[in-house]
Amino acid sequence: MKRWYFWVGLLVSAGFLYLALRGQNFPELWNVIQAANLIWLIPAVLVYFVDVWVRSWRWHYLLRPVQPISPFKVFPIVAMGYMGNNIFPARAGELLRAAVLKRRYAVPVSTTLATILVERIFDGVVMLGFIFFNLRELSKLSSSSGFIGSIRSLALWGSIAFLGTLAVFLLAAIFPKKIETILIKIINVLLPSKWREGAASIIRRFIGGLESLRSPKEALMVFFTSVAIWLLETLTYWFVMRAFPFGVSLFALMLMNGIVNLSTTLLSAPGYIGTFDAPGIALLIAYGIAPAVAAGYTLLLHATLWLPITLVGGYFFAKEGIDWSKELKNARAERTQKQ
């Protein structure tokens, strides 16, 4: 709580929550949630756990060149990572994944973080793809609907950022020695001599974590798996929608999925409070959905994506029996210096 990003995240979430809920009729909102047909949450949760399983398979695939670990063994670690992201600030669940993987299988933290960054880059590319694929849907909406009129600019600049980073990662995977030599030359110029050896070690481990991208076939496998992951999550959105008295197309839900998940990359309170909800509510209102219904759906969707995986991750975390603060400290230390 002493770290600056905790307080900044709280402020960001508070601002987004204000945008999400301003002007809402709260008694009407509560009535909408009470009237929801919650039986539809059962298939929604089941589909979401299939989604998490596919994520586990993707991470197993990325880790395969470093350490072959079956998806069955990876799944509990992925669930713990989700739990960590949902209850700790600054996506600390990613460090928790790295710490548990090192504890169980002796995989260096920096190598694990490289595979997790690859996941995030491909996720970002797919999210932007969802937005571009549905620009026709976006054109149906009023540009006066909050931030909706700026989505094209967001997609453009986001594409440049994500695709540029992906290109760098692919080059590092295809030409590891050349990129390693270039980066080590850079740190030798920029860093004091006492830090150079540790930084060089982190670079080598990080590049080692990109080994699964060394061929177009491998990269395409990760990409298409990422597409499947986000289509499954969109299907979760659809099942939750069935609990409410409105309907939009699956393409509209793909657009919503892309927008809200890009918004959650912003620094926020644990569980993406506000940064998930505000853009989702605004988008549905732009489709002509009543504000109370849009808010009720988005809040219940958020709870569906948050609560079950947090409980499952918490179970595995308790079963693991680790000292979270100690493991997090060790993971942060390895991320910044040679062990």
At 270-285, the pLDDT tens digits run 899 999 999 899 889 8
* Structural domain contains residue 203: yes
In a domain, 1, yes or no: no
pLDDT of residue 339: 41
pLDDT for 148 beyond 90: no
- In the structure encoding, which two tokens stand for residue 21, read together? 């809920």
* 94 domain residue, yes or no: yes
The predicted model gives 279-292 an average pLDDT of 90
Q: Stretch 7-31: mean pLDDT, rounded?
A: 89
pLDDT digits over 299-318, tens only? Answer: 999 999 999 999 999 999 99
Query: How far apart are the C-alpha atoms of 19 and 47, rounded to whole Å?
Result: 30
Task: Classify residue 275: in a domain, yes or no.
Answer: yes
Per residue, what are the HEC states of 165-203?
Answer: HHHHHHHHHHCHHHHHHHHHHHHHHHCCHHHHHHHHHHH
Q: CA nearest 119: which of 229, 26, 241?
A: 229
CB 218 within 8 A of CB 212: yes
Q: Is a pLDDT exceeding 60 seen at residue 142?
A: no
Mean pLDDT, rounded, for 150-172: 71
- Helix, strand, coil shares of the chain, percent, nearest 5, are 80, 0, 20
The answer to the question of residue 305 being in a domain is: yes
CB 335 within 8 A of CB 94: no
**Band (262; pLDDT cuts 50, 70, 90):** confident
Q: How many whole angstroms from its chain centre is CA 46? A: 19
Tokens standing for residue 155:
């997609």
How confident is the model over 196-236, as pLDDT tens digits?
787 787 787 777 767 767 777 888 898 899 999 999 999 99
What's the pLDDT score for residue 299?
A: 96
What is the C-alpha to C-alpha distance for residues 339 and 337, in angstroms, rounded to an integer?
6
Give Dmax over CA atoms of the chain in angstroms.
Answer: 65
Q: Model confidence over 54-83: pLDDT tens digits?
A: 999 999 999 988 889 999 999 999 999 999
**216 occurs within a structural domain:** yes
Amino acid making up residue 73: K
Q: What is the pLDDT of residue 152?
A: 60
The answer as to whether 196 is a domain residue is: yes
**pLDDT at position 76:** 96
Residue 139 lies in a domain: yes
Q: How many domains does the chain have?
A: 1
Which domain, by its residues, includes 76?
A: 7-336
Q: Which of 17-31, 90-104, 144-158, 305-319 has the highest mean pLDDT?
A: 305-319
Examine the pLDDT at 6 and tell me if it is beyond 70. yes
pLDDT at residue 338, rounded to an integer: 44
Distance CA(58)–CA(66), nearest Å, equals 14
Q: Using 50, 70 and 90 to split pLDDT, how confident is the model at 156?
A: low
Q: What percent of the chain has pLDDT over 90?
A: 39
pTM of the predicted model, to two decimals?
0.84
Q: Residue 271 carries which side chain, given as an amino acid letter?
A: G
Q: What is the Cα–Cα distance from 301 to 280, expressed in whole angstroms? A: 10
- What pLDDT is recorded for position 55? 97
Question: What would the DSSP string read from start to end of 20-52?
Answer: HHTT--HHHHHHHHHHS-GGGHHHHHHHHHHHH
